[in-house]
Amino acid sequence: MSTLTVQLPESVRQQIEDLAAREGFSVGQFLASAASEKLAVMRTMDYLRREAEAGRREDFERYLAAVPAAPPEPDDELP
């Protein structure tokens, strides 16, 4: 583990402390979890962008055409 000092607006700091206490986490645990979640989202978005750039429209159209025509599953209809 390492230590990182960050500056936060007082209102954000207070909300973090309140939420962490309410959920039974330390502020450090809360911030580590929040940072990890944000990193996972950003890495996933990077991966999906790379995959999209490598994809070909022709392949997509071929795979889409292979899907059989069928009515939606129960409870999966559009409203």
Classify residue 4: in a domain, yes or no.
no
Amino acid at the residue 38: K
Amino acid identity for residue 34 in this structure: A
pTM of the model: 0.65
Q: How many domains does the chain have?
A: 1
Cα 34 to Cα 28: distance, rounded to the nearest angstrom: 10
Q: pLDDT-based confidence at 79, cuts 50/70/90?
A: confident
Residue of 37, 33, 40 lying closest to 16 (CA atoms): 33
> Could you list the residue range(s) of the whole structural domain that residue 45 is in?
34-65
The answer as to whether 61 is a domain residue is yes
Tell me, yes or no, whether 6 lies in a domain. no
7: in domain = no
Q: Could you report the per-residue pLDDT of 4-54, keeping only the tens digit for each?
A: 999 999 999 999 999 999 999 999 999 999 999 999 999 999 999 999 999
Q: Is 38 inside a domain boundary?
A: yes
Q: Is residue 73 part of a domain?
A: no
